[in-house]
Amino acid sequence: MLHLIVGNTGSGKTTYSKELKKKTKGVIFSIDTWNNTLFLPDKTETDGLEWFLERIERAETMILNVVTQLEESHIDAILDLGLSKFEHREKFRAFAVSNGYKITLHFLDISKDTRWQRVQQRNTKKGDTFEFEVTQENFEFMETWFEKPTKNELMGSVVITE
């Protein structure tokens, strides 16, 4: 089973993924952890969005390889990959369909105010879900980048609200 964890910045995707892992005994793939470990140490001031998107694409190629192995072993994959765009979510739905894998979308529909408070707390406390600081500028950018799941996407999904 593939679990697509969807929500805007600060919605609690990583925290939710950790709880889901306890219930399913699945394996979490968190793009923030991958980015922080593999790519951020090499980032320069001039590297922008395209730089990140290219690296995310490469990481996802590796992740899908491991997901295939997990599916063969009947182990759930919990994909905490941002999945901010419809097209990005479609990539994983198509992958699941083409391989005969079950898939569930989990949408964390949390208000902007609550999410910003969470981001500020995470930036300050630097707890177990902290990977890097999210500035207000980055947070506001994600407000314009994120595409809320459509009604069709939400059919049969799990929706979490405040």
CATH of the domain at 42: 3.40.50.300
Query: Residue 115 belongs to what domain range?
Result: 2-161
Q: Tens of pLDDT along 106-128? A: 999 999 999 999 999 999 989 88
Q: At 149, is the pLDDT very low, low, confident or very high (cuts 50, 70, 90)?
A: very high
Task: Domain count for the chain, please give it.
Answer: 1
Q: Tens of pLDDT along 52-62? A: 889 999 999 99
In three state form, how does the secondary structure of the chain look?
Answer: CEEEEECCCCCCHHHHHHHHHHHHCCEEEEHHHHHHHHHHHHCCCCCCHHHHHHHHHHHHHHHHHHHHHHHHCCCCEEEECCCCCHHHHHHHHHHHHHHCCCEEEEEEECCHHHHHHHHHHHHHHCCCCCCCCCCHHHHHHHHHHCCCCCHHHHCCCEEEEC
